[in-house]
Amino acid sequence: MSKNTAPEASTGSDAVRRHAYEKYISAARRRKEKTVAINVGEVHRALALNNRVPLVCAALASKKFLTESHLRLISKTGPPSGQSTTVTYTYEFVDSHPRPDRQAAWDRLRGALKDVFAEYGGGEAYLRAERASFRDADDQK
């Protein structure tokens, strides 16, 4: 294998993966969809490729594409050969970062009484006032 063939193939696959991500994956994520379908023929035509259907199929089914885009391939429709412009891959989004949602919920909860404490001059002032009123109540008994 010469030096020129590997980067060329890599560049073609990278272009397919980049196009699929930019046109289909990121758009579906913005719409908060659970799945996304990509047709090989549409990608092949959009990139103006000539007789490169196997390249498009390989790139869209590659582990690299699935991993980098946080996807799981859930179905593949088309002819048994799997090498056709009629092949459509359907992916499911894999939530690889569940913590940010939990963290956001915690941050909202954590700031829930921020305005209340601000009225008392901050958390420390609020605690001092509460302790003082508690002691006053005990002294009056």
Q: Say which residue, 105 or 91, is predicted with more confidence.
A: 91
Q: Is residue 96 scored above 60 in pLDDT?
A: no
Q: Is residue 120 scored above 80 in pLDDT?
A: no
Average pLDDT, integer, range 60-77: 95
Fold classified for 5-96: Ribosomal Protein S8; Chain: A, domain 1 (3.30.1370)
Q: What is the pTM of this model?
A: 0.61
Spatial CA neighbour of 40 closest among 60, 26, 10: 60
How far is 91 from 35, CA to CA, in rounded Å? 5
Find the angle CA(86)-CA(90)-CA(93) to the nearest 5 degrees.
155
| β-pair partners for 93 | 71
Q: Which residues of the chain are in CATH 3.30.1370 domains?
A: 5-96
